[in-house]
Chains A and B, each alone.
Chain A
């Protein structure tokens, strides 16, 4: 299938992009990496009057430290998660998740801002925003604002980003030496959307987990924190009993939807298996 005809505008700044969007009567889509949008255009699932290309907006690029935060420009490509030294040092969970994101050709084009703004519940990075307690910077009519990841994901493909708004950066609290991460997913083939995936960030002290944030993806309409499982593990030493208790708590956190291939009970089972394996790894690291 071929896309319907559309106009094209190459934006030179965030304001320019937003003005072009407003001029279109909101019948526009921003395009960055295009790894989800272009197939949707080809399938005519989306047919905006105009595409606004934000790839050339300099201020959306780059990774830098900003006080206690790591500021990751929205245009940062997935492949840069694998190579950027600041991400490796200060956001290692993103580094750990990146190899599981699709395939090299997609990682070369796809952007972190695009992935988070689309909020595909089966994607790795949106869920990692939850695990990292990241904040998403959004440019809107009343200037820039920052939204906590916990408040960002609203429903299926629905986020705190309003019409015409642009995700400009992701801010991640800088990784500290008393923190530990774990990431893994269960996918039929390498690079596929996972049947279930999970990333976690723990803050440890004296072999105990002080706090932990556990985020799942591919478990429902939105990336989901496992708050009950977090509560079981927080303030405790992770041992076999603790792991079983956390696994048992997971049905309070996750309610996987019906699907023709993976029944809800099977997905919950897989989530428990994955949680158990990651917590076991975490206990070795803590």
Chain B
């Protein structure tokens, strides 16, 4: 006999795999993306880009372009600088960081190949591109700083001539006792790692339609962004328009992964072009432009040392991370968050005390890097987990045993990492056990050994991780960024007794609107069909942080939960008056007011709405029904809700070709309360696939002069279905006690550890051949080189 669970209650949507309400609409081609928007009198922008990674602009001749029929505006850096205040990508809590002021288009110097230099606005995009061909720019080429290590050398050319070096930011962590720990250690392992640059490659590229109405002095921007309120603030401040007259609408978005929350020069320029012309202007980045202007990510060289005792207990880690971020730090979130998270997350799953790290962030003449899904986590995880495997091999113990001896015990919470991250409650031990079970680890090892006899080289890799979610103002607010860590929702009961929820978190295809609808319906006691969720419009929803850093479910979800409870209380208050009952004696189930004690149906919610909206005369005098509530929620308690998990990978290396076949991938993850298991699983799978792409395929390759060599989807390899393994998922649920909902984030967990797993598995496969890999992506060239095959 199956016992009843909380999911057997009516309207129990939290914990249930409910399909996304918008999925069918998008599948049917009824999505409305920025690219689909056509406004009356709309014009199209195109940009002439720098062919040089570093050059002085000597002259710009735009006369012929201006004369072309159908061209409305040709704008240079100076033209837009007259109306746009420059920005600087630094934050106060990163002490000592520097970055040059930026403008939409440069005045006298280009700093990466692909940087937009001149804008043309014309009747069509094709016409605008015709005009680009008529523009001639005279350049004087300057020495380009391309390589990360070269950028750090003294005497190397400088990316910014006004600076004294190419250093953007440097920081150091030291818990003390590191040298002593290394001196007394039974084993010390060392490795140098290199992590390639890659880029998010969203299905929908960046797109913007800016529509400035000169008569009312108001600006409407249709923008493929994760963070409409952040951009409302930025457009208002940099173009001097009152915030209340700036509206940013984020319609359907085709993926973002952190890429669509940074200020891009073209996007800022398009707003300026619309102001200059007082007409709507559209710009959609094509794929080639995306490769040279979307943010890139990673690009780290890490030196790591780990000291362990004779039993394999970790004593200390010593880290040096150098990372190159392009010519500027990105605005408004900077480009140093990734490096900062790398040095703070290394070693985080493990119980040890002595930790030292140096982070060095340098400029170079490439497009900017910044926050992309799992910011810093994959680097921290790969370094930590590879070091753990190297140490296990030195000690002579199995990777599972090594981790079991070192992870923070499940009963040790609350506790903190050596870098000061505070952990409320994690579940490494149980996750480790579960992974061993779902992998059938011992059987895999047996199979691996048998196949090795026949010259087939399979590898098994595991990687433990923690993930930062639900960020408080400690993330950006304290640094002076006008980026909200709270969210707001407005919930209304409609006259028909349905519910409308306008909320500041946003939807990019991950199912935000689905889970918010689930939470509201669950908490109110109505069918989810009767809840409409509205997101992505600053004119409609309250101010809030929107969607990034895995905050949608944990913070947005809690906002919706608390708002729904307030609306429910208001509904029951009116119900109490009508029924002459105490509101506390009433509840709502399936859209009906019922008696708490008896469960007896008393009154449909729709009837309360009808009376409140149309027959308020029948309510007791002095009654004012409040069937709309607005509610805000800001996280308190722990600065971040950390999650944890562990991944496993089984793969085969063809030692003759260097090709790697992924056979199976495993994830055990703990994101606290699960609202929609299907969506959580898909977040994990999608995240794993992006991590596998980083592990094996994705790399922005540059030539010596700073030209991107593989800026197309034929040459830049993203992971595709044929190469992806089945991904087996299991969950542990440790809700956070900081909220009623108890949810934490899950969007970055997959990406955090997938590449680390692959790195460990490939090294496991190559171990009998005395070859090892320390660079990502793991290409056939790197494998064959390690094996000395050519």
Contacts and interface: CB of A to CB of B under 8 A. Distances in A.
A262 B722 contact: no
Contact of B130 (A4, A188, A273): A4
Nearest to B718: A189
B709 A260 contact: yes
B697 A189 contact: yes
A265 B717 contact: no
Given A43-B288, A195-B780, A265-B790, A273 B125 contact: no
Given A189-B722, A261-B781, A270 B126 contact: no
B588 to A, nearest CB: 50
Interface string A233-275: 0000000000000000000000000001111011011100100
A69 to B, nearest CB: 34
B621 interface: no
Nearest to A266: B790
Interface string A1-33: 111110000000000000000000000000000
Interface in B105-159: 124-126, 129-130, 133
Contacts of A191: 720, 722
A273 B790 CA distance: 12
A189 B288 contact: no
Contacts, number: 61
A270 B701 contact: no
Given A43-B288, A260-B701, A266 B723 contact: no
A56 interface: no
A180 B776 CA distance: 41
B709 A189 contact: no
A208 B421 CA distance: 71
Contact of A269 (B133, B286, B709, B789): B789
B443 to A, nearest CB: 29
A262 B129 CA distance: 34
Contacts of A268: 790
Nearest to B704: A260
A266 B784 contact: yes
A189 B717 contact: yes
Given A43-B288, A189-B723, A263-B790, A273 B129 contact: no
A193 B714 contact: yes
A192 interface: yes
Given A1-B288, A190-B720, A192-B717, A266 B126 contact: no
B417 to A, nearest CB: 37
B129 A266 contact: no
Contacts of B710: 261
Contact of A262 (B126, B288, B723, B781): B781
Given A43-B288, A265-B790, A188 B697 contact: yes
B656 A273 contact: yes
Interface in B638-667: 656-657, 659
Contacts of A3: 126
Interface in B264-291: 286, 288
Contacts of A195: 780
A190 B129 contact: no
B126 A2 contact: yes
A273 B657 contact: yes
Contacts of A266: 780-781, 784, 789-790
Interface string A123-150: 0000000000000000000000000000
A2 B790 contact: no
B344 to A, nearest CB: 34
Given A260-B709, A265-B790, A189 B784 contact: no
B129 A269 contact: no
Given A268-B790, A273-B656, A263 B781 contact: yes
Nearest to A186: B657
B703 interface: yes
A64 interface: no
Contacts of B714: 192-193
Interface string B681-725: 000000000000000010001010000011000100100101100
A281 interface: no
A265 B424 CA distance: 54
B291 to A, nearest CB: 13
Nearest to A188: B717
Contacts of A189: 697, 717, 720, 722-723
B722 A190 contact: yes
A261 B656 CA distance: 17
A260 B781 CA distance: 11
A261 B703 CA distance: 11
A149 B703 CA distance: 36
A44 interface: yes
Nearest to B722: A190
B266 to A, nearest CB: 14
Contact of A270 (B657, B709, B723): B657
Nearest to B721: A190
Q: Which of A1, A4, A190, A269: most chain B Cβ within 10 A?
A: A1
A134 B286 CA distance: 40
Interface of B: 124-126, 129-130, 133, 286, 288, 656-657, 659, 697, 701, 703, 709-710, 714, 717, 720, 722-723, 779-781, 784, 789-790
Given A2-B129, A189-B697, A269-B789, 6 more contacts: A186-B780, A191-B720, A262-B781, A266-B781, A266-B784, A269-B784
List of 4 A-B pairs having minimum Cβ-Cβ separation, nearest first: A2-B126, A190-B722, A269-B790, A265-B790
7 contacts: A2-B124, A4-B130, A188-B659, A188-B697, A188-B717, A189-B717, A260-B703
Interface of A: 1-5, 43-44, 186, 188-193, 195, 260-263, 265-266, 268-270, 273
